[in-house]
Structure 1
Amino acid sequence: MADREDEEDMEVEFLTIREGTCSTDQRDPISKQQVQNAVDRFVFPSLASDLEEELVRFLRLGHSTNAYSSGSRDLNTMDADCVLELIRNEKGPRAVEIIKEFSEVHQAYKQDYIIYALAICCRSSDPNTKRAGYGILSDVCKIPTHLFKFVDFCQKISKEQSKLKESGWGRAHRKAISNWYIKYADEEKHLTLMAYHLTKYRRREGWTHRDVIRKAHLKIDKDFPKFVNNRLYPALKYLVMVAVKGKKFADANEFTIEQKRLEGFESSVLAKVMNYIEQVDEARRYDPEDVAGIRGLILRHKLAREQIPTLFLKHKEVWNALLRHMPMTAMFRNLGKMSVLECLTEDSFEKQLVLSKIQNEELIVSSSIHPMTFMVALNQYKEGKSANGKRKWPVLESVMNALRGGLHISLKCIPPTDKRILLAFGASQSMTKKCIGVPSLSALEASAFMIMIMAKRERACETLVFTSNECQPLTVEADDNENDIVNRLMSFGSSETTDGSMPIKYARSNRKYFDAFVIITDSDTTSGNVHPSEAFKTYCETVKSKGERRPRLVVCDMISPSVTIGDPTDLNTLNISGFDHNVPRIINDFIRGDS
């Protein structure tokens, strides 16, 4: 939150304001790219340089412009046209280099964008691009979920490009997929990991390991003859047999029987992976009534929920065992289920374990648990029922308080920008609708959460509420939670009309300099004699900025997925559609100049 001294420092000397430089009414277009919104005012389509810069933006945001869409969406080659253009310009290998760099430094907000760009390169008809793309498959796709998504993307791209029902399983594709599995055998510990992956990630994106391995025609003996003498070869071959034909076949296979007869088998890698597969398979053979037995198996081998037969997941004792080694995010997703089964009763050890994990600062910070993860968990838990209403649970105040406490601790995972920010909320009636990307929250609730994060994290952040003709200050106290801010926003009332240029006009008329404007809106601006994008442009021209960088504008549209009041062609403007756990980090990076 901004201190008084910070507010006074915001006032700066302006250049002479050129009157009349931003006089186009919002009922008239200022660009051929503009379209009309739901109330017949002109705005920009939310999507609109250099090809490598476009690729970087696509890998980071999912669009080649400064635009981000929350939630999931179907990608197509038009979204990543910059990749195709680089390939056409004989720069495909360079595109692959950029993709690998992004994957290594974890700069993408969603892994899907990196995998999709890689799939385009691998589906290319340019041999150099294809060779380079397949060469980094294991670097980009580190777990089966990523591999299955890559396979699915490749198949869809092949069909899209050929307009036929071709799957695209050519020789290069089959060899690359085979190599992905072979790479598990580069270290002993990776084979143990492979056993875990085969039993946990059984099916993703409609694919199974059996499907993928059979499509790839993986034959270790034939395709990788030099590998046969490797000491890790027996374990890899066994795991491939388990994936394709099942444990029963693999155990009875002559190769496995011969390996078990060899001296030193008991201490071999094969023996270790066979034992692990046996334990997971044992869980599938347990008598449905032997809950104590399955509980002991989970505790001994730290089995995950996905490795346990569904019929056992209705028992409290099973969830109590799973909870001991359950990751934080998985624990959040299953709070309701565990509450239904009365795992979190007032005096239970399990409840104390959950509370201690939720409020463990070292665990939260080291795991980079995002505040949005806490926010979604908090809202889902406090409802006391599942989305379909079939599952209901008692809401414990102690758990609610722990989630709020963990949320505030997690704010440390988002460093401040150390910039001067004007954060403005448009008090529109439509803000009571569901928020894009987070259907469990209304646009108002999501906005309150964003305001809480930024106002508490930033040292110089001024907050206000705007309508069609005025801006009013919004106070955010240090101990406010999301409900306090929701109530405060509601106290301002709501307006049928808003003017998205009002926050920028406020800054100009009060002679204040901000490094960034963050405008939370529905983009259905219905009044005002100047377009917000035009007002921002004029502000940038008339304010004497510190240094060479212009101020930046972030438009967060919580309701409208296809239009925005921000200019998508302006690299100093970021357009965001909806809200999810990536949005605060995206805004943070953009304001700091990291994107």
Structure 2
Amino acid sequence: MEHSGSTMTKHSVKSQPWEVDDKARLCRFLCYGSEGDIYTAREEVHVSMESAEALLALLGDGRGAEVVEDIRRYSQDGRVVSMDPSLFALAVCSQHSDIKTRQAAFKALKEVCQDPGSMFDFIQYKKDLKVDMKSGIWGRALRKAISDWYNGQNAINLAVSVAKCKQRNGWSHQDLLKLSHAKPANDAIALVCKYIMKGWKEVQAEYADKENSEEVLKVLSYMEVIEKVKHSCDETEIINLIEEHSLETEQLRTDHLKSKHVWKALLKDMPLQSLMKRLGKMTSKNILEPGSSDTHAVCDRIQNDTALKKAKIHPFSILVALENYKKGQGFQGKTKWEPDSNIVQAMDSAFYKSLMYLEPLDKNFVLAVDISASLSSIVPGTSVSTAVAAAAITMVFTSTETNTQVLAYSGGSLVPCSVVAGMTLEEVTAELVKSPSESTDCTLPMAWATENGKAVDVFVFLTNNPIWAFSTSPVEALKKHRHKTGTFSKFVMCGLTSIGHTIADTPDRGVLSICGFDLGAITLIRNIAQGLI
């Protein structure tokens, strides 16, 4: 149980846990790119100095090392919706006037930037900041950090990542190696750097007669495969290379992906999440035909326990992919297909199985679902109805958290709602929408918990649109519950279709508004439950 005294921040010993200080604002910024209490699902993140006031304030207070540690921790632990805010914040720290802050930022670079794309984005942020911060970019510290990044990689993994992500944001590996004057730490890294700078022909000429180590030979073999793929127009050769070396779409040319047989070869080792997203396209192009061995194999993979556990795909992501597939056409309507019942059944099975692999938070939750007539729209960016989305979210918590109470609210009263672990998605949806009415009062679940002396860590409200009739404000109801139970309860309002709404203009760290819904919303609910934002 999280009591009011347990979340006091270092910034101000006298502050109350619900007060939004600079540290809380920084954590919000790192998670979703805004210091405010509103998260809009599927919205592109734009970061700038104007949106990072808390970051600058903490740096000004001499807390740079603490800021860098938060950047490292949040990005590594999967607490962020987008990496952009973390990369921007790290770039700011790397150009700050305090030398210890700069040193900490460059030291954290290899942990925060775990792939080339992140590295390229980081460098671009530094370039954008050059004017604002009146400082150069390519100093000795950055050159060393970039060099350390390349030298800190496993050689074969580096070769693979170079082949998959050659450039981004106007930057390439060749640019970074040139500007950093990187000196390879070993022969295998030297080989990859040579390949980046000089190309395959020079690599062949230099390494053909050398006595090479096993690691160098492995990298050479991979490069040879990539070069064959790059120049081959032979469909059979491409298919053989895919099957022998488990190649993915990023390692092929665009024209290779016009072949139905190439796609069939890619199916075997295609990452599970990518496979689920492409089911419609592959069905429309007859790559997956009803009753075929390929379709049967895909269905087996989708619902395989080991594969699901390894892929760590969230049930809500599977649901979105399933509902999009069942719709039978892409969002722009150009691609159409006839959904295969076996694929639908496999995806449905995967949804239920994935519920078992979620990590519990061991918190007391109340899920309050608005079952008014308005719970009948579609969650933006998906083919999922708000009723089904609410049911799926409810199932995520009832399957994972043993201390979860589901309440339905409608009109001026709470409606009995029997949702327990083990129910099907259809059963939960039917339970949630059985008693619709015209208006709702979202303070009812909090009043119920307060009156019954039930200490709740997190109230999660699910509604189609946050327009209510209530006698007292939700924030006041939340404060009353906190006061009576001695718990720093949090309050998350999910307007499943709304854009730009807010609960109240209140400086309360325990209040979060979510517009729309996506996997990022799940991340933020977990974060607020753990006191991370």
TM-score > 0.5, shorter chain as reference: yes
Contact in 1 for aligned 2:142/2:180 (Cα 8 Å): no
Give me the whole-angstrom Cα distance separating, in 2, the residues matched to 1:130 and 1:67: 31
Q: Which SS does the other structure have where 2:280 is aligned?
A: helix
Residue of structure 1 equivalent to 2:159: 195
**What's 1:116 paired with?**
88
- Aligned counterparts of 1:420 and 1:232: Cα–Cα separation in 2: 52
Aligned counterparts, 1:90-169, within 5 A: 90-158=62-130, 161=132
Work out the CA distance in 2 between the residues paired with 1:78 and 1:449.
37
* Offset of residue 97 of structure 1: 2.8
**Number of the residue aligned with 1:39:** none
Code of the aligned partner of 2:205: I
Which residue in the other structure is 1:184 paired with?
Answer: 150
Structure 1 residue corresponding to 2:471, chosen from 529, 538, 555: 529
Secondary structure at 1:435's aligned position in 2?
coil
Q: Is the 8 A contact 2:461 2:494 kept in 1?
A: yes
> Which residue does the alignment assign to 2:228?
282
Q: Name the counterpart of 1:492.
A: 435
Distance 1:589 1:142, change over 3 A: closer
Change (3 A) 1:58 1:530: same
1:23-62 equivalence runs, <5 A: 50-62=21-33
1:235 matched to 2:191? The reply is yes
2:344 partner letter: M
Equivalent position to 1:570, from 508, 511, 514: 508
Label 1:361 to 1:153 Cα distance change in 2 as closer, same or farther (>3 A).
same
State the identity as a percent.
Answer: 26
1:251 to 201, 210, 214: 201
Counterparts of 1:296 and 1:371, CA distance in 2: 34
The answer to whether residue 471 in structure 2 is matched with residue 505 in structure 1 is no
Q: CA deviation at 1:107?
A: 4.0
TM-score, L = length of structure 2: 0.85
Q: How does 1:405-444 map to 2 (within 5 A)?
A: 405-428=349-372, 431-435=375-379, 438-444=381-387
Higher-RCO chain (CA-CA 8 Å, sequence separation at least 6): 1
- Report the Cα distance in structure 2 between the residues aligned to 1:440 and 1:158, rounded to whole angstroms: 43
Per the TM alignment, residue 384 of structure 1 is displaced from its structure 2 partner at its CA by: 1.5
**Partner Cα distance (2:151, 2:451) in 1:** 66
Matched, 1:88 2:60: yes
Is the 1:118–1:133 Cα contact (8 Å) retained in structure 2?
Answer: yes
* Structure 1 residue 299 corresponds to structure 2 residue 232: no
Size of the alignment, in residue pairs? 515
How far apart, CA to CA, are the structure 2 residues paired with 1:449 and 1:212?
Answer: 46
Q: Which has the larger radius of gyration?
A: 1
User: Could you tell me which residue of structure 2 aligns to residue 389 of structure 1?
Assistant: 333
Q: Deviations over 1:279-312 (max 9, x none)?
A: 212223222xx32221111111221111111222
User: Aligned residue for 2:461?
Assistant: 519
Contact 1:314 1:341 in 2 (8 A): no
Match runs of 1:363-374 below 5 Å: 363-374=307-318
The 1:452/1:100 distance shift into structure 2, 3 A limit, reads: closer
Structure 2 segments unaligned to the other structure (5+ residues): 1-18
- Select 1:311's aligned residue among 244, 251, 255: 255
Aligned to 2:390: 447
The letter of the residue matching 2:229 is A
Letter in 2 for 1:364: L
Deviation digits for residues 192-232 of structure 1 (CA, Å, limit 9, x no counterpart): 2222111111344x335257437x62444xxx4xx58x534
AA partner of residue 281 (structure 2) = K
Classify 1:156/1:425 alpha carbon distance in 2 versus 1 (closer, same or farther; 3 Å): farther
**SS state of the match for residue 138, structure 1?**
helix
- Asked if the contact 1:464/1:471 (under 8 Å) is kept, the reply is yes
Please tell me whether the aligned partners of residues 435 and 442 of structure 1 are also in contact (alpha carbons under 8 angstroms).
Answer: yes
* TM-superposed deviation, 1:380: 1.5
Say which of 47, 51, 54 aligns to 1:79: 51
The 1:511/1:231 distance shift into structure 2, 3 A limit, reads: closer
Distance in 1, Cα, partners of 2:360 & 2:206: 61
Return the offset for 1:141. Answer: 0.2
Report if the CA contact (8 A) 1:566-1:573 is conserved. no
Q: Name structure 1 gaps, 5 residues minimum.
A: 1-47
Task: Calculate the TM-score normalised by the size of structure 1.
Answer: 0.77
